Every structure is written in structure tokens, then in C-alpha cells.
Structure 1
Amino acid sequence: MKFVLCAFLTAVIALQRAECLKRTYYIAIREENWNYAPSGRNLINNRSIEQDEHASDFLTKGPTRIGSVYKKALYRQYTDDSYSTEIPKPAWLGFLGPIIRAEVGDVIEVHMKNFASIPYSLHPHGVFYEKNSEGALYPDGTTGSKKSDDAVDPGKSYTYTWQVKPEYAPTEADANCLTWIYHSHGDAPKDISSGLIGALLTCKKGTLDSKQKRSDVDEDFILMFSVVDENLSWYLEENIKMFCSDQDATNQLKNNADEEFRESNLMHSINGYVYGNLPELKVCVGRSVSWHLFGIGNEVDIHSAYFHGHTLLDRMHRTDVLSLFPATFVTATMIPKTKGKWLLSCQVNDHVQAGMQSFYEVSACGSTASATEAPGKERRFYIAAEEMVWDYAPSGMNYMTNKPLTEPDSDSESYFSRDGGYLGGKYLKARYISYTDDTFTTKTHLAGSDVHLGILGPVIRAETGDVIIVTFFNSATRDYSIQPHGLHYEKAYEGAKYQDGTQKAGASVAPGKKFTYRWKVIEGPSSADPPCLSYLYYSAVDPVRDTNSGLFGPIQVCRKGVLDGSGHQVTNIQRPIQQISSKKFIYIYIYTPTSRFFRVDCLKNAVNTAVCRQVKFICLFSISLNRKSYTDMHSTLRIAFNS
């Protein structure tokens, strides 16, 4: 009996050990030239780099400009320690290193050889390691062999050993694979800016197949959103020498920290590509996709990654925007619903203009599945774009101090005084205005909590399964549109202008014209979400200038049965924890540079001044307040248009 028990225990231990694999990688560091825009074009609008007013600032090569090609150090994967046969990686990985994948209990063994001219290392996030496999240089008190991992000299090799211990693994509530990174950590900011960074995924047991690929999803993609600062790269001087014809003048600009020169070396990229040059993000209708996103960089690296036309689940919450900060890692799941070539973009204004945009393409892949859910109501809205003067402070008072906004030497004086030719607090804007029908003769009366909306367009509310039909009349003096977040639609109704291979009348509606948009509410709040989610709609002919001109408004996507007959949220439906709130408020916080208005020139002429001011004042969230308790407050961040 003892013999049988011992044999059984031995077999169990052997089985457990067999299930805990050692996953071996051979990674080399090599120096090579990297092109951020190999097509030579801004593929978002299909203009050449030279013809594009923004892309040319970053990518045009000149006597004192490096252009689109930079020398970098990159991680490359090989079949063995001879480092002679490279393992191809997906083109969409860009300059990121190979994806390292492992399951809970596994040991990761990385053999690294440095073929570069500078000492580098390999430091992981999200796994366990001893001090001799940390790969980070800092005064940690270690000596001898425990310091060898900190920096691997040119021509030398080192083996790093990491473990995916249970306490480092995805929890039951987590996605099947968590997103982490690895990077060189001698001088981390300079090493990463030079190109040495990659993704590491730690997965639940049974997630990976024999080829170390995901078996639980059809596709998984890694995306790094980063303003890569080539000014910090170890190779800046070499890049100047190789690509700038006037090296003396360029070095003078560098040494003087010239702002325009430094700006030209900031690559607002996704995986090292700008202006739509990221290749081959292809997915299929109805098949699950895991998106692994991370941010890295400096204080400017605050990103809102927006997936046009689809929604995702991020930590069980429904969204179409993933918020990223430096060294934040996000895992989200998508089941694509609608075919087409869709934009994937950071929504920060400066980053949009600087090229942090790419495409992902959804194909049928033989599927006949329809994106149509069980039919709900058709909810009709009639919205016009109209121009008017907007007063940011009609009372003229600062209610925090009970003093006039033009009080001398006050904080508000510089924004609201018109002395010296300044504009003050009034600006010509374009706004979305609600009407009762498609004659656009009678405006909708604002009632209840909607009175507080201010400059916002009317609230578009709908439930899961509904169809939203918006008749849009452009009563302004330039082309505008309406693009929604959080909804599904065919390409004709997207309301965004970019080169996706289709003709979209709704992408740009001319002055005096009408267009009817048709959007579907296919994916509503998840089981972990509140009864209604907050999204945004806005004009996207030129999304930066259109939104700064005033064209944006809120969308609320609710569960079935949450809205009453008038389309407002009812207050007597029980939620799992608390009663639905009796007061609903929608706020939008904006910093709006007036130089980005389309209409500011008209107002400048009206007040006979050439001085433009900035109005302090996009992230949309809703706050619901219960009169009895502030514990019922919840806010849902959906998107940010920051300057």
C-alpha cells in the first residue's frame, strides 16, 4: 500500500513538473536603420510626406533635419545560440522585440547576445527573477556574478532566467494573458528611446499551444503607443552625421536645444510607425481578438487609443477607448462585428496631427454572421450644426471669489479682459443643436437635467438592440459631420474622413446639406458596468479643429428597459447594489486653444485684433447623484481630446 501511494505521489510530482515548461528564447541585439514611414506617405489622407503640413515637420529630410530614418538598436529572435537564423516576426510588431510568452509555473530562459556597439541588458516586468537575472543597472549592493546581468558588453552573451510564479500570474478575474514588457535597463530612457523594448505575456495554464501561440483567441496583437524621443537615443550624433547634410548647423541646433529641431525628432508612433504606415493588423468578423497595449515614454505619453467602429472589453468593462500612460499595460478583448478598414488612433490632438494613427482591417473570412442583434426601437434625432457666439462666462463673475472676472491682477483677468486687443470670454463657435423634425424649424426644448449641458450637443440615448437614426443638417459655413463612439455602423455612416477605400457621403457634409446616419447599439453595458455608459459624438472632418470649434456631444448607451418612453433614464429600476440615481449630469472638461478654431479668424476681425487667446476649459464622463447619498456617484471616462 505504501509502495502504491509513493508511486502515485511520484507520478503526480512528475506530472506537475512536466506541465511547468522551460521556454527558451535566443535574442540578439543588433543595430540597424529604422524607417518610421517606409511608404513615404501619410496613408491616413494619402498625401506625400512633403505635401502634408504636419507630417513634413517630422519626416522630411533636410540639411538640419534627420527625416524618417534613424539608426536604432533592436531585439531580434533566433533559432539557436549561433544567432545565424532569424525567426521572422509579424510585420505589425514594427521595431518591437519578439513576443515572449509563458504560462503560470513556467521558467523563461533568455539567451541574449549583444551585437551592438553599446552595453545593453534585458529587464522584464511581471515575472519573478533573482538578482542575477534582473537586467537593471543601479546601486543595489550586488557584486561579482550578480552584476553581470546589469549590462552585457558588445560581443558578449548572457542568460537570463525568469519564473512565472502563481503570485505573478493572471488571477481568475483577469484576462487569460496579461500584458507586460521587457527592455534594456542600463540607462532605461536612452536604451528604450534607442529601440530596445518588447512585449512579455504571462498566461493561464492551457492558454498556449505547442508553438507558443494563443489557443483561446483567433488573433492577439501587441501595440506600443509612444512618442519616441530620438533626442534621447544613444545614436543621435550618428543620425545627424548620416542624414543631415549641414552637420555643423545641426549640431548647433542640438547643443542649443532648439525647440523645432527637438520636436522634429519626436516620433508619435504605434510600434515605431507613423501616419498609417503600421502594416497588417487583420482580423475576422465574429472571431475573438486580444489586444495588448502599453505606453512608454515621458510626460507627453498620455494616450487615448480609439478603435473606430468597434468596442472592447477592458477588465470586464465595455469601451472603445483604452487609456494609456507611461509603463501602463492593458489587455482588452474584441469580437469584430463589421467589415471594413478602420482607423486606430490616439485621440490626443497633438498626437493625431503628429501621426499616431494606423489601420486595422476586418474581413468576413468566410463568416456569414450578421452584426444585427435582436431588434429594438428606432430612435430618431434631428441635429444641426450652427454657428453662434458663445460666452464662456455670461455673468461676468468669478463665483469662487464673488469678484468680476476682469478684476485687475486676478487669475481670470488674462482670460476675460478685452484690454489691449484681447478677445475676452466670447468666441464664435459651431454647435450641435437639436430640432423636433427634419424641417429644422423648431428647436427641441431643453428640460430637466439637460439644461446644464451648456455648449454640448443634445444627449443621444439608446438601449442595447436599438437603432439610432440621426438626420444631420449642416447650417454652418464649412464641411462638418457626426461620428459616434460606442456604436456599430457600416462605413457609409461612420462620419470620419480618412483613406479607407470607400466613398462615404456622411464623412463630410457640405454647408446647407443634409445626411442621415444610421447606427446600431449592438454591444451595451457589460455585467460589470453601470446601467448606462457614457460616450461622445463629434465632427470628424478635421477632428482636431472641429472639436475645438465646439462640435461635440454626449451619447448614453443603456441596458434594455433602462429608458422610459421619452428616452430618459428611469429611476425606479433596481441595480445589484444600489438604486439607479435620481439625478443625472453630464460634464465635459476641455482645454481649447483658440488657434485651433475654424471660426476664430472671423471673431478676430470683428474685434480688430490679431491676438489670439486660449480658453481654459476633452474628456467625457457622466456623474449620477442620488440626493440621499454621494456613495451612488459613479464616473465613466470614455475619451480625451487633450491639447
Structure 2
Amino acid sequence: MPRKQLTGCILLLTFLGLPGLVGAVTRTYYLGIVEEYWNYVPQGKNIITGRSFTEDKLATLFLERGPNRIGGIYKKAVYRHFTDGTYTTEIAKPPWLGFLGPILRAEVGDVIVIHLKNFASRPYSLHPHGVFYNKDSEGALYPDGTSGRNKDDDMVPPGKNYTYVWPVREEYAPAPADANCLTWVYHSHIDAPKDICSGLIGPLLVCKEGVLNRYSGTRTDVEREFVIMFTLVDENQSWYLDENIRHFCTDPDSVDKDDAVFQRSNKMHALNGYLFGNFPEPEMCVGESVSWHLFGMGNEIDIHSIYFYGNTFISRRHRTDVVNLFPATFLTAEMMVENPGKWMITCQVSDHLQGPVIKAEVGDVLLVTFANKADKVYSILPHGVLYDKASDAAPNIDGFLKPGAHVKPGETFTYRWTVPESVSPTDGDPPCLTYLYFSAVDPIKDTSSGLVGPLLVCKKGVLNADGTQKGIDKEFYLLFTVFDENLSRYLDENIQKFTWRPFSVDKEDKEFVKSNRMHAINGYMYGSQPGLTMCKKDRVSWHLIGMGTDTDMHGVYFQGNTIHLRGTHRDSLALFPHMATTAFMQADHAGIFKVFCSTLHHFTRGMGQIYEVNSCGNRDPSEQPYGMIRTFYIAAEEVEWDYAPNKNWEFEKQPLDAGGERHGDIFMNHTENWIGSQYKKVVYREYTNGEFVEIKARPPREEHLALLGPMIHAEVGDSILIIFKNKASRPYSIWAQGIEDMDSGKGLQVPITKPGEIKTYRWNVPKRSGPGPSDPNCIPWVYYSTVNFVKDTYSGLMGPLITCREGILNEKGRRSDIDYEFALLFLVFDENESWYLDDNIKKYLNKDPRDFKHTDDFEESNKMHAINGKIFGNLQGLIMSEDTMTNWYLLGIGSEVDIHTIHYHAESFLFKIDKSYREDVYDLFPGTFQTIELFADHPGTWLLHCHVSDHIHAGMETTYTVLRNIDNRIPYSTKSPSGGSSYPATVPSNEQPGKEQLYFFGKNLGPRGAKAALVILFIMGLLLLIATVSLSLRLHSARTQMAYREVQSCALPTETL
């Protein structure tokens, strides 16, 4: 072969071979934003009950048009899928997707290219979760300091086009323990809450390599897949509300958009945009594998406990039939279909006293004989087991005659439930899974009347002959719920029997309604539950169950001892309606302790009990030796705190509404009746020594702590000594969760420090206070004042405590295994509950608190939706260099509104339960704390915010910055995009982590990029080596032939011989 041809073939093979080696595919989509009218009830009736809407009073509220009612049809903007750039031929989608956009799929290594055209009447954009993007493809409007091309992606005007490019990089890949395809979404992000409520949202699936068909893009690993969004679609937040009023209300001029009943009529509790069973039925066959991609969106009330009747599934290695969804929660559930029939999918948040415990092992058959001795019709419906239609107690949706669904007074019915291998706890589950059973004739009224009980499904061989668990000394069952006696079937009887003047009771009176909501554990309040006793070292299994409404968000906290959850150490867990969980405890600290709901309003209303740990001859933990003593000098002092010293964020990001106002005005503006953004508060501050004269300066890496107290670090085996001075004007204390408190003794009272006093508090860090086997190297807790837990917290007294494995901290008490760490508290500070409310009214409103009227607007203006005490982009100091490992300690405290779904733009992270799982949104609840691990490798300034709609509008947003490394000198911006405080111009190289860098064609590559570049270079080098050897052999052969011909031509003449 000629030399040029040979070289050309080698180069061609090289470049053709590289894409095949990488396996990347460019997946191109043509999406159009179109406006259309959407019908929430296309079948015109309630499919679940079979009744028309004229027969259903509740349905009429949402679906019937009237002078000031829109009805069930609304104008919306939606994403539609087209074949090409002409946008003339739409690609059909399955009807069950509703108004969601098309399913976008990609594998790790692929590149998603979206050609978006806006056919709507106003600007919109396209922002993804779960994939990489540069600034010009983020699709989100916020003050990030960009301009030009990097700003054009923020909004696409009507009639215009824009192309978004999203590479699916390795760091966004599903983790090994994740499902094959992770559930994400894409949505418009100009004003995300309003854009999403208007209809602009769709699913995005990111899969492991080899899962998708290379050409069709469909999955090869499952027979079926379905996507469902559970949300309360708030049409009051839609951009098209005024149009819908004009078009559908028969007397639009009579509409009061602030009227509570009108607003309620526009809140659609929908699955993909369908109500009352109008969701087109997803069909599947027995034996098929099904992947359910589930996600939530919306507001504080969007707490959804999704129950799959008839079959179980696995989510994050956990067997269950219920999952909990919150705004921007994304889950993948994997089901192997086993039980034929038509089954319901419902949200079990109902708007509950325990029955007997039922236990079963895998392989058992349960025969449950139910004798209805009450005077109402009831039933029993279980979670976690299988049953056929003859034992189905669900409402009649499939035409089957089911006597077990309506057991009349005086009748008896026997249910048959089976426990096959398919419902067994997984390897990642505890030996026994906690479920519940309940009456389903009217789930709301029945559970409010008390008909609920615990059901345990155990692995084979776990139970003793008497039904107790092997290896467990004590079992306790706790049901957390707000029993709403107003919904009980026995309300009228209770009024007649227990009120002094029954005839005078107004069942609609607000105070009467409030008095009937019992914040109870097992039907007991204020520590009246008997029987919660154990010995030290007992192996205790706690079976915890949640029931109720969207306010039943419970942070279950165990004082004095920690619990073990799937390989992690905690002292609290989150519990929601129809969710049940199992936690293990081996108490090492004797005494009388509380178990209570740390949701602040539930705590104050009696949702707490006492459990007692007796020594029973075991050695007291105070005798155990502890090593290093870490001493901190901390004071409580009063300050003037500004939640938003800089107002630029609000003005740049939030446009004026039709009334000339912004969402943030009520929190930011100082008016005659609004305090504004400045408040008197009390905070923890660290001092250099026990003189308490000089405050210890915070280094730049701790600037982000803002309102929080100092970050306290300790290792397992350490003792923490807190020298605490109260420099405030009222009594306070300091106490931490998760540790062994040496000052409270065996009682419940933490020592109080009066104003001007100094007290010493000592906390030990036993092994159970450190990371569990599945935890990261360090885990977070919080410390706070306990004189009045609620008021002290809202007044400002809290800080982070970080406990680590042995050997993690350096000689300065900082972590040596990572490059950066950040602690973030997401809390709606209710200044109405602060000790200093009267002081703030006096100072900032110049009014007498005794005469000042507390209106609803005033109270709302005092609820600051803050990150570390800052709102609207005012939190500073979240700065790191690229290609560094960061840990973020997410801290949840607060009340029912403190459901926070924390979203990091441009980066994904791992969080650990039993294994590591990939996300870019983390669900945080009161009383829960979590470490997430984020490798920062994408330079830029990026949005960090809570994804709950109301919290976005109230300012629970900030930015974090990943700085590009240049010659080991990290330039810091002297001012954040929103105009905050300044930072040092440079950071010395000796303060930066010793990460090796590779410069490739002028680009600084991190470890992953460097590895990929080296692999490509190695392959090219190998091919070039082969080419060189082949060419050398060819040249050698050619020269040999040439030499031979020359020898022949120079041969001796034979004629002369």
C-alpha cells in the first residue's frame, strides 16, 4: 500500500474509533412551547367513586364554572416534541403524561441538544436537573454576574429560538446503588414557581451506560416505564390567571383574586394534570419489570405519601409500597408486577389509635378475622403484603364485588393476606419492615376515628415461636399524628357527652376546631404514655408510624441516646403520613429522656413522651475514659441583625407584579406596619479565652456561618468543654443533640445560665455519636438553648456541631480529608415567636407593643425564609476552588412550613444512607441533619436555593462560587453578583488543597478530565506506534528490494569469461 494511503487509513481509523470507544451519542430534541387549554377531568366524572360531579360537593368546588369560578379547564403553556426544526409535525406522547413535556432520555457520556422555539405569548426558558451545563445553557434567570451569550439562555422571547447543550458527564451518573435510570426534570426558570404552575415542566431520565437503545433511545432493561408528577397545581400562581378569569368566569368583574374560597378552587391536586381518577390507566402484565419515575413539585403543602395498592417495589434498596414526595423530590421505584388486577395509586395524606400488632415472616399466610362491633361500616386494608380481589378492602373501582371493603356493624369477615418472597425485606433493609393497616371505607374519617394498627413483615427465620424478634430485647410501637377529632365519625357523640352545653357548640368556630386537633403519640399527649422502659444495653427496636394530613410532618427525636438507621447514626428521623420505619437503639446512657416531635409547633402542643433507661447493673458511661478535651469559649449576646443588608437581588430577579409590588416587599420593606429586614436577635459567638473580651475572628472559610454560632468539631472519643457566658438580658443555655451530656445527669433539665453568669458544659462523644458504618467521615448535629426551645431557637441561638471518625481532624481541629466544608441552616425564622418581638416593635415601628394590632400581614412580614439568617442572595462566603472535594452540612429545624428541598445548580452530589446515592436536590425536614459530598469541578457562580415555591418567592436563595485555578492562585471576586461583602484578592497557594492538575491545550483539567485525556492520548499513541512500526517495516522492505536490484545491475560481465 502506498505510504500516503497507509497513513491516511491509520488516521481515519483513529478518529473513527474514538467515538466508538467513548460510546457517546448526541441526542437531539426539538421542543416547542405552546399555549393550549387543559382539561383536568376529560372524562367528566369521578372515576374512583363513579359519581358525576354534580353529586360530589367537593368536586364541584374545583370543576364547576360560575360567576367567580373558573372550573376544570385552564389555559396553560406546555412543552411539545417535534420531529425537526420546522416545528410542523408533533411527536405523539402517551396520554398518561398529561400536560408534562416529553420524556428526554440520555446515557452517561451522551450530549443532549435541545432546540427550543417559544410559540407562547411571553418569555420562557429551559432549565434541567441532573445534567451538566455551561452558563450559556443553564436556562435560569438570577443575578449571577453574566452577560451577553451567557445571559441569552435565561429567557427565550416569544417567536424566538435558542439551543441548549447539556453534556451528561460522569459525575452525574447514577451511583452503583442507584437504579439504572435516575429521575430528573426540566422546567422553565424565569420565575420557576409561576412557570411550573403555568405548565412548563417535563421528565428527564439519566441512565447508566448500555441501558438505552442507541438508535431509538428507549430502555432495554425494563418492559415498561411510567412517569408521574404529584403536585397541587396552583393556578392562582399561573401567568394566565387573569386570562382564565376573563375566559371562563361568567361574571369576571365580580372575582376577588384574594378570596380564600376562590383561591382554593384553583388549587388542583393532580397526577400529571388529572383529577379524580381521570389519569389514563398505565397498563402492564404480570411478570413484567416496571420502572416508575416519580417526582413532586409545588409548595409547603405538597407533602405526598404515594401508596401503590396491590404490589410492592424497591426504591434505594428499600422494599416498600409507599414513597414520600416533596417539591423537587425525584425517585425511581422498581417493581416486578406479581398481583393481577386494577389497583389504585393514591396520595395517602388525609386531611388514627393503634390496633394490635400483626407480624408475619416471608412464606406465611395471614388469616385476619375482622369482627365489626362498632356502629359504622369499616374494613381493614394492609400495606406491605399481597391479597387478591376477594380480600381487597379498597374502594370499588374495578367492578368486583368485594365484601371485605364494607363490613357492616355486627358482621364478620376473614381477610387472606400472603407474604411471598417478592415482598421480603431487601439486603439493605432491617430484618423486619414496619407497615400499617387501616380502615379504608372512608380513610380520612376512619383513621381520624382511630382505626389504624402496625404490621411487621419479616425475613424468614427472624421471629421466635411467640412472635418476638430474635436478637431484640424490647419492641416499641409509636404512632405520630395530629388526631383531628373534627373529622371523627363520633364528633357529635363527643360533643353531647363531654361539653357542658352541647346545644351552644359551633362546630365551625376556629377555636373549637383548633381544640379538637390532638398532637399525640399513640393517642397520648404531654408525656402521659406508659410503658416505655428499658435497661442499658438492651437491644431495642422502635417501630414508628406516621398518619394524617400535610401538617403531619414529624421530626421524631430521641433525647439522650442515638438510633441506628441503615448503617447511619442519628438521634432523629423524619416521618410522614402512611410512612413507617424501623430504628434500632442500644442505650448506653441511663436516665429519664424525652422522645418527641421536634417540629416546633407540635412540640409545644404536647407531641412528646418519656422513655426511661435503667442501669440494671450495667456500668455508668461516666466511668468510661475519654481522650482529648476540646475547649470552646462561647457567649450568648444580643445583636442588631439584618437579614438583607443588600436589596439588589430582589430588584434584579423579581419583576413588579400588576399591582406594582414584588414578592419580597413584605419581608424587605420598612413601613408603618412592617418592621423590615432588621431585628434584634441573640446569637452564639466564640471568644479567644475565658475573659470574654475579644471575639475570635472568623476566617474567610467561616464567613458563610453568618447568624450561626461557631462550627464545633470533635472526634469519637473526645470530650467537648464549653465555657459559656450569658451576655444577653435573659436566661439561656447551650446544649447539643447527638452527644452524651454530662451536666443534665439522669434528669431532663439542662442547667440554665442567667444573665452575666458563666457556666461550664461538658459533652462526651462516644462511638454512637460519631459516624455509623455507612456515614461519611463526619456527620452534623446542632447545639441550641433549651430554656424555651421554641423561643430561644427563633431568637437566634443555634450552631453546628460536627463529629468525626478518629484521625480525621488535624492539629488545628479542622478536617484533613476534604478541602472545604460548609454548614447551612434552612429555617423560616418566625420573629413573632422571638423573645425580642416587643423590642423590635418599639425600636423599628416606634409603637407601644401593648397597643399595636397584629394583623395577618404583619405576622407574615416577620417570617424570614433564611439560609443562615440571610435572605435574597445576601449569604456570602460560599466560595471554593475547582476540582476540590467539599462537604455540606445541611441542618433542618423549624415548624410545619420548614420542608426544604435544597437544589444546587450546575453540580450534583452524593448522600449516604446504606449506600451512596446521586442527587442535585436534598429533602430537609425539622430535626434532621445530613452531610452531602460534592466534588466542585464546574467554575462559575451558581444558584443555591430551596425549591419550595413560596420559599423561592420569599427569598430562600443565594449563590455559591467555584473559582477556576490559575497557577495555584485563586482569584476571589471582590464582590458577589448581588453586591455583598468583599473577600481577599487572592488565597495563598499553601492554603489550597494539593490537587494535581493537567494542562491540556491550554485547559486546566481536573482528575476526571485528566484521566479521559490520558486514555485518549494513550490510544492515539498506541495507534501511532502501530502505524510507525508498520511504516518502518514497509520502508525496510522497500529498501531491501532496491538494494537487491542495484546488486543485479552491477553484476560482473560474463561475456569476458
Deviation (angstroms), 1:16: 2.4
Aligned equivalent of 1:119: 123
Match of 1:489 in 2: 387
Are the counterparts in 2 of residues 136 and 186 from structure 1 also a CA contact under 8 Å? Answer: yes
Instruction: Trace 1:136-151 onto structure 2 (pairs within 5 A).
Output: 136-151=140-155
Candidates 434, 455, 462, aligned match of 1:555: 455
Instruction: Give the direction of change, closer, same or farther, for the CA distance of 1:14–1:194 in structure 2 (3 Å limit).
Output: closer
Question: Could you tell me how far 1:524 is from its partner in structure 2?
Answer: 1.4
TM-fit CA distance, 1:12: 4.8
Whole-angstrom distance in 2 between the partners of 1:183 and 1:8: 41
How far residue 217 of structure 1 moved from its aligned partner, in angstroms, is 0.4
| Contact kept in structure 2, 1:624 and 1:633, CA below 8 Å | no
Which of 481, 485, 510 is the aligned partner of 1:594?
A: 485
Q: Residue type of the partner of 2:337?
A: P
Shift of 1:9: 6.2
Match of 2:243, SS? helix
- 82 and 12 in structure 1: CA distance in 2 versus 1, 3 angstrom threshold: closer
Preserved contact between residue 468 and residue 518 of structure 1 (Cα < 8 Å)? yes
Whole-angstrom CA distance in 2 between matches of 1:27 and 1:221: 21
> Separation in 1 of the partners of 2:424 and 2:474?
21
Deviations 1:377-420 (A, max 9, x none): xxxxxxxxxxxxxxxxxxxxxxxxxxxxxxxxxxxxxxxxxxxx
Aligned pairs for 1:396-415 within 5 A: none
Rounded to whole Å, the distance in 1 between the matches of 2:252 and 2:37 is 19
Summarize the alignment of residues 364-379 of structure 1 with structure 2, pairs less than 5 Å apart.
none
| 49-58 vs 529-538, which moves further | 49-58
**Secondary structure at 2:310's aligned position in 1?**
coil
Does residue 506 of structure 1 match 2:404?
Answer: yes
Contact in 2 for aligned 1:626/1:632 (Cα 8 Å): no
> Mind listing any 5+ residue stretches in structure 1 that lack a counterpart?
351-430, 432-454, 572-580
Q: Please say if residues 624 and 634 of structure 1, whose CA atoms lie closer than 8 Å, have aligned partners that are also in contact.
A: no
Q: Name 1:565's counterpart in structure 2.
A: 465
Aligned residue for 2:199? 195
Amino acid at match of 1:142: T
Aligned to 1:423: none
Provide the rounded CA distance (Å) in 2 between the counterparts of 1:467 and 1:638: 29
Q: Is the 8 A contact 1:584 1:625 kept in 2?
A: no
The question of whether the paired residues in 2 share the 8 Å contact of 1:625 and 1:633 is answered with: no
**Alignment partner of 1:276 is 2:277:** yes
Secondary structure, aligned partner of 1:305: strand
Retained in 1: the 8 A contact 2:322–2:578? Answer: no
Match of 1:422 in 2: none
Q: Please say if residues 96 and 272 of structure 2, whose CA atoms lie closer than 8 Å, have aligned partners that are also in contact.
A: yes
State the structure with bigger RCO (CA 8 A, min sep 6), 1 or 2. 1
The answer to whether residue 294 in structure 2 is matched with residue 293 in structure 1 is yes
Aligned partner letter, 1:163: P
Q: Are 2:495 and 1:604 equivalent residues in the alignment?
A: yes
Corresponding letter in the other structure for 1:278: F
Matched, 1:539 2:439: yes
SS where residue 337 of structure 1 aligns? Answer: coil
**What's the secondary structure of 1:282's corresponding residue?**
coil
Partner amino acid, structure 2, of 1:34: W
* Residue equivalent to 1:235: 240
Shift of the alpha carbon at 1:617? 2.2
- 1:16 maps to 21
Counterpart mapping for 1:362-441 below 5 A: none
For 1:545, the aligned partner's letter is K
Judge conservation of contact 1:182–1:197 (CA < 8 Å) in 2.
yes
Matched, 1:75 2:79: yes
Q: Deviations over 1:69-98 (max 9, x none)?
A: 000000000000111100000000000000
Residues 624 and 632, structure 1, Cα contact 8 Å, conserved in 2: no
Question: For residue 81 of structure 2, what is the amino acid of its counterpart?
Answer: Q
Cα gap change, 1:185/1:240 in structure 2, threshold over 3 Å: closer, same or farther?
same
Aligned partners of 2:241, 2:516: CA distance in 1, in Å? 35
| Map 1:115-264 → 2, pairs under 5 A | 115-209=119-213, 210-250=215-255, 253-254=256-257, 257-264=258-265
The structure-2 alpha-carbon separation of the partners of 1:457 and 1:243, relative to structure 1 and needing over 3 Å to count, comes to same
Q: Could you tell me whether the CA contact under 8 Å between 1:481 and 1:509 is conserved in 2?
A: yes
Q: What amino acid maps onto 1:500 in structure 2? A: D
Name stretches of at least 5 consecutive residues in structure 2 with no aligned partner. 1-5, 507-511, 523-531, 539-560, 567-572, 580-895, 897-1057
Match of 2:313 in 1: 312
SS of the residue aligned with 1:160? strand
1:494 Cα shift? Answer: 1.6
1:476 aligns with 374
- Please name the residue that 1:385 is paired with: none
What TM-score does the superposition give when structure 1 sets the normalisation length?
0.78
- Separation (CA, whole Å) in 2 of partners of 1:641 and 1:51: 29
| Residue 13 of structure 1: how far off its partner (Å) | 2.1
* SS of residue in 1 equivalent to 2:343: strand
How far 1:242 moved relative to its partner?
A: 0.6
Letter in 2 for 1:208: L
Among candidates 514, 537, 558, match of residue 628 of structure 1: 537
Partner SS, residue 41 of structure 1: coil
What is the rounded CA distance, in whole Å, between the counterparts of 2:333 and 2:519 in structure 1? Answer: 31
Change (3 A) 1:625 1:220: farther
Alpha-carbon distance in structure 1 between the residues aligned to 2:381 and 2:424:
18
Which amino acid is 1:117 matched to? S
2:360 corresponds to 1:340: no
Match of 1:617 in 2: 519
Q: Report the equivalent of 1:108.
A: 112
Output the CA distance in 2 between the equivalents of 1:202 and 1:626: 49
Match of 1:364 in 2: none
Task: Please say if 1:583 is aligned against 2:481.
Answer: no
Aligned partner of 1:640 among 571, 577, 582: 577
Identity level (%): 54
The verdict on how the C-alpha distance between 1:14 and 1:492 changes in structure 2, with shifts beyond 3 A counting, is: same
Whether the 8 Å CA contact 1:294–1:324 is kept in 2: the answer is yes
> Could you say what secondary structure the match of 1:486 adopts?
coil
Q: Deviations over 1:335-394 (max 9, x none)?
A: 1111111010011114xxxxxxxxxxxxxxxxxxxxxxxxxxxxxxxxxxxxxxxxxxxx
How many Å separate the matches in 1 of 2:260 and 2:13? 71
AA in 1 matched with 2:537: K
Deviation at 1:614, TM superposition (A): 2.0
Please give the alpha-carbon distance, in whole angstroms, between the structure 2 residues aligned to 1:486 and 1:291. 18
Q: 1:92 to 1:491 in 2, by over 3 A?
A: same
Distance 1:244 1:468 in 2: 54
CA RMSD, aligned part only? 2.3
Letter paired with 2:219: R
- Counterpart residue type for residue 481 of structure 1: S
CA contact (8 A) 1:469 1:517 kept: yes
* Contact persistence 2:107–2:206 (CA under 8 A): yes
Instruction: State the Cα distance separating 1:602 from its structure 2 match.
Output: 1.0
Query: Secondary structure of 1:56's partner?
Result: helix
Deviation of 1:211 after TM superposition, in Å, equals 1.0
Closer, same or farther: CA 331–199 of 1 in aligned 2, 3 Å: same
Name the structure 1 match of 2:956: none
- What is the alpha-carbon distance in structure 2 between the residues aligned to residue 336 and residue 153 of structure 1? 46
Distance in 2, matches of 1:483 and 1:151, equals 49
**Helix, strand or coil for the counterpart of 2:414?**
strand
Q: Give the whole-Å Cα distance in 2 for the aligned partners of 1:473 and 1:5.
A: 82
Contact kept in structure 1, 2:380 and 2:439, CA below 8 Å: yes
AA aligned opposite 1:459: V
